[in-house]
Structure 1
């Protein structure tokens, strides 16, 4: 719908169809057949919704994409890793049907790239229902160790990009709201438990995540009149994901080198330390985050919230 509206604006504007014309189109034999053919027999909780997820070629983002596709969503895999994004989208289509996912290469810190990402989404699916700001980066270190370049990189990816993406995500949502006043939309930031409390020798990341919650609350106030809910999900540590487990750049390696865990002699010592801090005794998994995302989308009375998914490691006061 949105793609049609935006195209029509280039030809002098759009006008509503008459009831007779609407009825003719709906009863047209070819249109009736197409509608039936495109109806998925398996009705999920997000059936037909268009969901764009940044940083979804791997890690949390990939797991979230897979689980939301299971619930009937059409998924846009957006990532700087173009080949990885294409691979994920291809597998989703093979499992759930042609057209259920597509990939777009995107640098979320570049405004032109962000604009293109959302334009491609609208052109492909005709609109946007949910934007999940998942792309993120970590660079840990003490004040003495942290460089200006590393600090700026973390800030740009985790904070600036959230602003840029939200700025352009809401454009199609506002247009859709005009023609479907009852519809609600969602901006969801994948934040962190580090956005709820400080993190020793990890101030660049924690600061960007604290800022992300500030953006979420401020966006929520501005966008509520348009039926756009804005919430943050604050996961605990995804210890099995590449962010933590990458043998060269993962957080286990970074924290071992930075001395964040006193007495740790190897990566396994660091892992055991972080597992011991969780009352439920394990790291966070994509399915844990997906359940919270489903809640955020399905509910209609919460906005501006930071929802902890930490196994009890962080509790709201």
Structure 2
């Protein structure tokens, strides 16, 4: 790769005209004997265009060879085509690249709720998305929706249980084979359970720790391995909870695991800094809309904790906030997008609360 870039720079400097600006010197076509063709581009569509053009080129070469021989253009002739002024003018009319163009994001638990909203928000600004979810069918549906909305191969999906080490490793392998790597990893997959401590079973405790703590560890560890191998930095966003910093009555197992997530993120921010890997957290509260978690027992359990009916829970959460608002998945997605974007390039180990203002959860 380094040799190719060096030779391309020599080719450019030998043929350039005044005012020419060199394109990226990275190769768009890589041939690997015994394997085949790998192509690159600013996005999946661009990579596929490179594939199509190269296949047409070798077909022309083959046909020309059967008719007496193929003669390549000279370097000067190739340059005149590549840097043709009319083509350069057309390229200048393209819209400015979006904030996450050329980025690949793996989002766990993205078949519904907050994860789904985050996947949609990141793709809106140009990212390619890998939906990693235990609900494989739901993940495929979300990936299909994003591709229909955003264009060619904008999203793919992989079934993944965050507690299974081999499945987490496999999800990153899927991302690499689909898009070449991962730039952003969003730790979002989760569950919730509620019970007084005397009624908290060992199974409930272990399940919360396994999914919310160990699962986040496995996803983050594999992200670090890949991002360090890529050598281009990276970005991890942890979706924690108000309970990461505020005690949750009748939710000791859940709250303890959520607190572990937050501290893991801060530890990894320290580890990732030298490699340009940023790690930040978003702490939501009471996001009921579109959530598979709140459709289950968690709603009834939390309502019982506060002595209200399940249907009154949304109003209860709104009234306890400083701003008197309900928090939606899209609100969490905006915070995750900011942390994943270049706008937050100098932020790591940070915490953003998106809870409408819950004084007990103010970070201090």
2:193 paired residue number: 139
1:1-317 equivalences under 5 Å are 16-17=3-4, 19-20=6-7, 34=46, 43-177=97-231, 183-243=232-292, 245-246=294-295, 249-256=296-303, 259-262=304-307, 264=308, 266-297=309-340, 298=342, 299-313=344-358, 314-317=361-364
* Contact 2:4-2:27 within 8 A present in 1 as well: no
Go from structure 1 to structure 2 and tell me whether the alpha carbon gap of 1:98 and 1:149 turns closer, same or farther (over 3 Å shift).
same
Go from structure 1 to structure 2 and tell me whether the alpha carbon gap of 1:208 and 1:35 turns closer, same or farther (over 3 Å shift).
closer
CA-atom RMSD, angstroms? 2.7
Q: CA deviation at 1:62?
A: 0.6
Q: CA deviation at 1:116?
A: 0.4
- What TM-score, normalized by structure 2, do the two folds share? 0.74
* Contact 1:108-1:157 within 8 A present in 2 as well: yes
Q: CA deviation at 1:212?
A: 0.8
1:185-217: per-residue Cα shift (whole Å, max 9, x none)? 111110011101110001111101111111011
Q: CA deviation at 1:34?
A: 4.9
Go from structure 1 to structure 2 and tell me whether the alpha carbon gap of 1:90 and 1:214 turns closer, same or farther (over 3 Å shift).
same
SS of 2:352's partner is: strand
- Is the radius of gyration larger for structure 1 or structure 2? 2
SS of 1:225's partner is: helix
* Contact 2:192-2:293 within 8 A present in 1 as well: no
Go from structure 1 to structure 2 and tell me whether the alpha carbon gap of 1:251 and 1:220 turns closer, same or farther (over 3 Å shift).
same
Q: CA deviation at 1:303?
A: 1.1
1:139-177: per-residue Cα shift (whole Å, max 9, x none)? 110012211111111110000011111111112211222
2:57 paired residue number: none
User: More deviation in 283-292 or 115-124?
Assistant: 283-292
User: More deviation in 38-47 or 283-292?
Assistant: 38-47
Counterpart CA distance in 2 for 1:158 and 1:187 is 15
Go from structure 1 to structure 2 and tell me whether the alpha carbon gap of 1:207 and 1:42 turns closer, same or farther (over 3 Å shift).
same
Go from structure 1 to structure 2 and tell me whether the alpha carbon gap of 1:126 and 1:145 turns closer, same or farther (over 3 Å shift).
same
Question: Structure 1 regions of 5+ residues with no counterpart?
Answer: 1-13, 178-182
Go from structure 1 to structure 2 and tell me whether the alpha carbon gap of 1:27 and 1:222 turns closer, same or farther (over 3 Å shift).
closer
- What TM-score, normalized by structure 1, do the two folds share? 0.84
Q: CA deviation at 1:226?
A: 0.4
Counterpart CA distance in 2 for 1:244 and 1:207 is 18
Q: CA deviation at 1:26?
A: 6.7
Counterpart CA distance in 2 for 1:172 and 1:71 is 23
Q: CA deviation at 1:133?
A: 0.3
Q: CA deviation at 1:270?
A: 2.8
Counterpart CA distance in 1 for 2:151 and 2:96 is 12
Counterpart CA distance in 1 for 2:285 and 2:210 is 22
Q: Using CA pairs below 8 Å that are at least 6 residues apart, which structure has the higher relative contact order?
A: 1
Q: How many positions carry a matched residue from both structures?
A: 293
Question: Structure 2 regions of 5+ residues with no counterpart?
Answer: 13-24, 30-38, 51-90
